[in-house]
Amino acid sequence: MSISVLVNGAFGKMGQLTVKTISEHPNLTLAGEIGRSHDLREAIIDSKAQVVIDFTHPDAVFNNTMTIIETGARPVIGTSGLVRHQIQQLQQQCTELKRGGIIVPNFSLGAVLMMKYAQQIVKYLPHVEIIEMHHDEKADSPSGTAIRTAELLEQAHKQVNQPDKPNRETVKGARGALHHQIPIHAVRLPGFLAHQQIIFGGRGETLVLRHDSINRECFMPGVCLACEKVMTLDRLVCGLEEIL
Ligand SMILES: NC(=O)c1ccc[n+]([C@@H]2O[C@H](COP(=O)([O-])OP(=O)(O)OC[C@H]3O[C@@H](n4cnc5c(N)ncnc54)[C@H](O)[C@@H]3O)[C@@H](O)[C@H]2O)c1
């Protein structure tokens, strides 16, 4: 049976492509397209959507996700900007209601593989920094992918970037933002879409893992997979790797 999917943020860059992709997918049915001027709760009830995919704005994503969960649909969250305590609160709500959901910092398979292999490499080369580059309309920094990468690297190797070398910043921020002991440098420029480098340094060598999203098509197989797999979940998970 086809899964009915409501797209929130449907008139934005990711939303428009998601609407087109879902409309053409054999196992998914588009339940509706909504944006800033619609009432999310009403739209879920009226459309009877089973899944709601959110590509909106970091300022709105927490409330949207809570609304989706409370209204009885399953959230597939692509919007960036959720912080740890918010994710924990949403996970608790899903667990209590036995509701499946997924938060995906990056829907592209290449980016997920980059994170997976980075977790192997950091065990051998535990000195590491992240540079992420995005288009200049991106509302938040650093990217959800960079935050997730830092968390996964620290999970894979607790001694990452130890010993912590004292460093005087002549210009504040020069060493990036520290997240889980890992400096993250965020570049925002026209011309970029979504890119990330993970740079490992060892004695006399460096190793760079680099991922480039050339266009937004790279996110679509992951979006469809998440809409299908979320139907089998009974809790809120984080990361495409959880369902691959
Ligand atoms: N997870 C991923 O793989 C991935 C990939 C690309 C982008 N993103 C993220 O997705 C989000 C959207 O990106 P985009 O490039 O499509 O942005 P965009 O600005 O082109 O589109 C966002 C749309 O959401 C609408 N919107 C804003 N607030 C809203 C609200 N409260 N309710 C409903 N609609 C609202 C806007 O009017 C706009 O149409 C960003 O957070 C971005 O970082 C995630």
- Measured from the Cα of 223, ligand 1's closest atom is 3
Whether residue 102 is found in the same domain as residue 12: yes
**Residue 165 pLDDT more than 90?**
no
Domain count, the chain: 2
Catalytic-labelled residue, pool 25, 134, 157, 185: 134
Cβ-based neighbour number of residue 6 at 10 Å: 26
Whether residue 29 is found in the same domain as residue 15: yes
- Each residue of 75-114: pLDDT tens digit? 999 999 999 999 999 999 999 999 999 999 999 999 999 9
Q: How far is CA 236 from the centre of its chain?
A: 14
Q: Which of 11, 19, 21, 57 to mutate to test the pocket of ligand 1 (most atoms within 8 A of CB)?
A: 57
Q: Which domain holds residue 176?
A: 109-214
Within 6 A (CB) of ligand 1 lie 8-9, 11-15, 35-36, 55-58, 60, 78-80, 104-107, 138, 219
Active site residue 48: no
Backbone angles phi, psi at 162, to 5 degrees: -110, 145
CATH number of the CATH domain containing 29: 3.40.50.720
Whether residue 24 is found in the same domain as residue 44: yes
Tokens of 130: 């992240």
- Measured from the Cα of 219, ligand 1's closest atom is 3
Q: How far is CA 51 from the centre of its chain?
A: 17
Whether residue 74 is found in the same domain as residue 118: no
CATH number of the CATH domain containing 196: 3.30.360.10
- Each residue of 25-80: pLDDT tens digit? 999 999 999 999 999 999 999 999 999 999 999 999 999 999 999 999 999 999 99
The separation between the first and the last C-alpha atoms of the chain, rounded to the nearest angstrom, is 21
Q: pLDDT at position 164, please? A: 84
Order of strands, sheet of 28-34, starting from the edge strand that comes earlier in the sequence? 28-34, 3-8, 51-54, 74-77, 101-103, 236-238
Q: pLDDT at position 226, please? A: 98
Nearest to 6 by CA among 62, 48, 39, 65: 48
